[in-house]
Amino acid sequence: MKKLIIATRGSRLALAQTDIVCGLLKKENIDYEIKVVHSKGDHNQKDALSKIGGNGLFIRSLETELIEGNADIAVHSAKDLPYDLGEGLVIGGVPKRGDARDCLVTLKGAGPEQPMVIGTGSPRRISELEQLFPKAVFENLRGNVDTRLRKLSEGRYTAIVVAAAALDRLDLDFQEYDIRRLDIRECIPAVCQGMIAVECREKDREIVELLDRISDPVTKLRFGIERYLFSRMKADCTLPVGAHAEIDGEEVRISAMFRGKKCERTGKVKNHKSVCDDMVRELTGNRSGKVTLVGAGCGEGLITLKGLDAVSNADVIVYDDLLAVEVLSRIPQKTKRIYVGKRSGKHSLPQEEINRILIREAQEGNNVVRLKGGDSFVFGRGGEEILALMEENIRHEVIPGVTSCVAVPERFGIPVTHRGVARSFTVVTGHTMEDGEIRVDWENLAKNPGTLVFLMGIKNLREICGKLMEYGKPEDTPVSVLSKAYCKEEQRFDGKLSDIADVCEGKALTPGIIVIGQVAGMDLRCKTDYSNVVDQEHLIDSYCNEDKEYSAKCDSDVNCDDAADKVCDTGRSDVEKKTITVTGTERFVNIQCKALEKLEAKLVPMTTMEVRFLFEKMPKSFEDYSWIVFTSRNGIEAFFSYLMESQIDLRSIMKLKFACIGSGTDEDLRVHGIHADFVPSEYTAEVLGRELAEHLGKNDRCLLLRAEISSEALSEELKKGGINFDEVPIYRTLVNEKLAGDGKKQVDSDYVIFGSGRGVEAFFTFCSLSDGTVPVCIGPSTAKKLREHYDGEFLMAGEYTAGGISEVILKDMEL
């Protein structure tokens, strides 16, 4: 194996723990090199952890080294780990645990001073020690062990609290101190306190196996149990939370504390998850989480605002087919997704199993969203799911959805009710039972003068029409079969009860619905004269008596009375028929969709990437720079977020000048009250670099704030111009893993928009382009990346902005 680069913090304790790991590696004959990395928590030892970042504060810098390939393993105090590790990283090694207890340290011979002043910055320790020392005063104390002991010796505190394992691992002189090791029942330690965690990249299988060999099996098991409990409590270092697991053979005893409330359970090691779940329910006071049934509608943009809000805040999404990409792309990266796909002929899971999944996830304390196409209570088995939840006393809510029985006919210009034509409509399942029979009241349906809407009945179209005619429905009753609504290949097929099955024979129509009744002869997308029927209230009565026949004169070029493959949509322009998928980060997608609104085409937002800010390499001040250069809107958002998080006053950067790659970036800068001092004549990194180099003076120094992976054109041009600059990655773009499913999705829009090379890569990770789809690139670098995945023709914006993309698409539509 190659020499391993070990990343560690530089404190004495961190190095002592790293030395323990190095000793284990030596036994495996592994060569290594230590790399000291400083974290934000090391730089700021004055403020409480909750004020400067809290969860994961001490490990993110080390994780960055792993992710960027600068180190092979990282050594952490396991208690510092958040429950979400960096992308692609795992804890591979957990050596034998040290003493998990906390120690109360006082000066030797100190009397019982009242009130006692205890130095600690831990909410957990404060919560525990308040019970032991009710009259004590607690003051914030941070820093390494040496610093804490020094402050105790200086008389700033009566006592301090330190982890026992830290004292044991350091070669310090404790002669002047009294050390009281607090019993686990007195003060439940932090999760995994006393453990060392060794992190690595998951893909480095050889290293993962090595770290497993140097692990202590019992400690690694305790690590997993305590970490599971920690994740179920959904807590971080800003909350008073503790946990400790003791293993004796096949038995485990787990102690936990949450917000001052304690709980202890014993059970089998193999059943530790259920034991932890019971403890969480007792500690948090919640019997279970909550399940929300959300109807996602039956097309792009048809989910309600309340439904989207529920999706955005869910811990778990249980979903099936017939969902718009727009909805799936809104699911946050952290949200657990469970696919239970249900479509005609393709049932992923039986309903009983879906019910069990909802109950299990809710009982684990999760906020669960059951996401369905259309509306949950219109043949969506939502009622069955609610009854199952009620039996388990699980809180639930239903958010209605736009149902296809109304929305799909509307899409094709059919009103399910219309004055003088149909006073009612009936929704019927066209789905067969296990014995192959459609169990409905055919006699009453045949007599019904209103509109009949059959869902899930496409494959039984001939049988449905035959049964209605058998029970007396006139053979010439209008019928419309509406297929794949809100998709690019949506189609409407019109006929009569007697011939519609022949019209649709051999066609792929699923998903689709069937509309039967006089309104099926209408198409309000056409310029049509319905004056001979509207307001004639006697129409329904005469229809029932079969004395009159509904008819309409259509002024369009399409013969609306012809029982053929008719798509009568002359009320919509050619542009409105087009579908445009917009890919990229949520920010880019929103901006681009706004720019496209004027086209009135159908827009499909697809968030293929997520943005994570990177502040570890940001300078502590900007005094050494005269210019800051932005090459994206994300960079501007990250920069001002950094200023806010670091509490840097805006007035301290007033002497700086700013360069932006284009007008869109300049617009975002102006939101913060700053106008760009320089924008290139052409919105590319190469031109920005060349023209900026000509514009700058010899004494200028630039700070380039860019994505982690960026084009080298800008820096190369600045180098050619002899400009001094530093390049700092301020954000990272990640593929939205939530788009992953059962293989690649084929996107069949007329146009697919790409706003960056990374966006191209993200799209083709999970998606492909159908024949006839035209890719649209914002600029040359994006186009260059597209050519690596696609060898067909594509469009590129003339001006590399959202507006430029809209213009090139409009011109292409007009050709």
Residues 423 and 358 in one domain: no
Residues 153 and 43 in one domain: no
So what's the pLDDT on residue 737? 76
Structure tokens at 177: 């101190």
Residues 386 and 461 in one domain: no
Give the confidence band of 539 by pLDDT, cuts at 50, 70, 90: very low
pLDDT at 586 over 80: yes
Give domain status of residue 812, yes or no.
yes
8 Å CB contact between 781 and 643: no
Give domain status of residue 251, yes or no.
no
Domain containing 651 — which CATH number? 3.40.50.10090
If one compares 539 and 392, the residue with the highest pLDDT of the two is: 392
Instruction: Tell me, yes or no, if 320 is annotated catalytic.
Output: yes
pLDDT at 461 over 80: yes
User: Domain boundary at 399, 420, 440, which?
Assistant: 399
So what's the pLDDT on residue 639? 94
Give domain status of residue 27, yes or no.
yes
Burial class (CB in 10 A: 0-12, 13-18, 19+), 809: buried
Q: Please tell me the least confidently modeled range out of 108-122, 155-169, 529-543, 642-656.
A: 529-543
Distance between CA 581 and CA 608 in Å, rounded? 11
Distance between CA 62 and CA 74 in Å, rounded? 6
Cis bond upstream, residue 95 (ω within 30):
no
Mean pLDDT of 511-525: 91
Domain containing 298 — which CATH number? 3.40.1010.10
Residues 144 and 204 in one domain: no
pLDDT at 742 over 80: no
Residues 77 and 206 in one domain: yes
Residues 121 and 53 in one domain: no
Instruction: Tell me, yes or no, if 456 is annotated catalytic.
Output: yes
Residues 641 and 790 in one domain: yes
Give domain status of residue 228, yes or no.
no
Residues 169 and 310 in one domain: no
Mean pLDDT of 109-122: 80
Give the confidence band of 285 by pLDDT, cuts at 50, 70, 90: confident
So what's the pLDDT on residue 566? 39
> Comparing C-alpha atoms, which of 311, 445, 444 is closest to residue 368?
311
Mean pLDDT of 421-444: 84
Three-state secondary-structure class, residue 685: helix
Q: What is the DSSP letter of 526?
A: S
> Comparing C-alpha atoms, which of 476, 474, 427, 425 is closest to residue 451?
425
Give the confidence band of 746 by pLDDT, cuts at 50, 70, 90: confident
C-alpha distances (whole Å) from 121 to each of 8, 50, 118, 138, 148 are: 23, 9, 10, 8, 11
Contacts of 515 (CB under 8 A, 6+ apart): 409, 414, 416, 451, 452, 453, 479, 480, 481, 482
Determine the structural domain holding residue 523 and report its residue range.
Answer: 405-554
C-alpha distances (whole Å) from 359 to each of 95, 291, 362, 370, 435 are: 37, 8, 5, 11, 30
If one compares 779 and 45, the residue with the highest pLDDT of the two is: 779
Task: Report the number of distinct structural domains present in the chain.
Answer: 5
Give the confidence band of 71 by pLDDT, cuts at 50, 70, 90: very high
So what's the pLDDT on residue 325? 64
Mean pLDDT of 591-603: 84
Q: What is the DSSP letter of 651?
A: G
Mean pLDDT of 343-363: 78
Residues 712 and 607 in one domain: yes
8 Å CB contact between 182 and 103: yes
C-alpha distances (whole Å) from 210 to each of 63, 207, 221, 755 are: 19, 5, 17, 42
pLDDT at 9 over 90: yes
8 Å CB contact between 624 and 742: no
Residues 489 and 608 in one domain: no
So what's the pLDDT on residue 698? 85
Give domain status of residue 274, yes or no.
no
* Residue % of the chain over a pLDDT of 70: 87
Active-site residue among 257, 279, 456, 606?
456
Mean pLDDT of 91-104: 97
Give the confidence band of 527 by pLDDT, cuts at 50, 70, 90: low
Give domain status of residue 353, yes or no.
yes
Distance between CA 794 and CA 802 in Å, rounded? 17
pLDDT tens-digit readout, 215-256: 999 999 999 999 999 987 877 667 899 999 999 999 999 999
> Comparing C-alpha atoms, which of 687, 695, 693, 728 is closest to residue 710?
728
Residues 115 and 211 in one domain: no
Q: What is the DSSP letter of 470?
A: H
User: Domain boundary at 383, 399, 415, which?
Assistant: 399
* Residue % of the chain over a pLDDT of 90: 54
Mean pLDDT of 177-185: 94
So what's the pLDDT on residue 741? 59
User: Domain boundary at 352, 368, 399, which?
Assistant: 399
Q: What is the pTM of this model?
A: 0.48
| Average pLDDT taken over every residue of the chain | 86
| Residues facing 536 on adjacent strands | none
> Comparing C-alpha atoms, which of 189, 284, 199 is closest to residue 246?
189
Q: What is the DSSP string of 79-107?
A: GG--SSPPTTEEEEE--------EEEEEE
Give domain status of residue 154, yes or no.
yes
pLDDT at 428 over 60: yes
Give the confidence band of 542 by pLDDT, cuts at 50, 70, 90: very low
Active-site residue among 204, 320, 569, 666?
320
Highest mean pLDDT among 356-360, 396-400, 437-441: 396-400
8 Å CB contact between 776 and 795: yes
Domain containing 66 — which CATH number? 3.40.190.10
Q: Given the DSSP bridges, would you call strands 290-295 and 367-372 parallel, antiparallel or unpaired?
A: parallel
Distance between CA 262 and CA 127 in Å, rounded? 11
Mean pLDDT of 37-53: 55
Residues 475 and 578 in one domain: no
Active-site residue among 342, 488, 566, 602?
342
Give domain status of residue 561, yes or no.
no
So what's the pLDDT on residue 645? 85
pLDDT tens-digit readout, 666-709: 998 999 999 999 999 988 899 999 999 999 988 999 999 999 88
Across the chain, how many H-helices and E-strands are there?
27, 38
